């Protein structure tokens, strides 16, 4: 995933060397969009990690669906 984001940053830089006027105006916008998408994805992954951790902590206590499955 990170290598994909790095490639998305490098493509406008490579094309900026060929035609500087047309790409320089759109590059900050592209970089902003990519950084917002990366921020949203990282927040989603943190939330999912917290949910999964809470599920396993409840399962250790024997509470919840996963805990009942582990008991049987």
Categorize the per-residue pLDDT at 61 as very low, low, confident or very high, splitting at 50, 70 and 90. Answer: confident
Mean pLDDT of 39-51: 93
Cα angle 40, 43, 48 (rounded to 5 degrees) comes to: 125
| Predicted model pTM | 0.51
Categorize the per-residue pLDDT at 44 as very low, low, confident or very high, splitting at 50, 70 and 90. Answer: very high
Question: Domain coordinates of the chain in residue numbers?
Answer: 2-71
Torsion of CA 46, 48, 50, 53, to 10 degrees: -130
């Amino acid at each position: 995933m990170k290598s994909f984001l790095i490639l998305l940053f490098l493509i406008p830089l490579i094309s900026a060397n060929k035609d500087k006027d047309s790409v320089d105006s759109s590059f900050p916008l592209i970089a902003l969009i990519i950084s917002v998408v990366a921020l949203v994805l990282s927040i989603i992954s943190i939330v999912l990690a917290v949910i999964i951790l809470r599920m396993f902590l409840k399962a250790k206590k024997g509470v919840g669906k996963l805990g009942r499955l582990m008991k049987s």
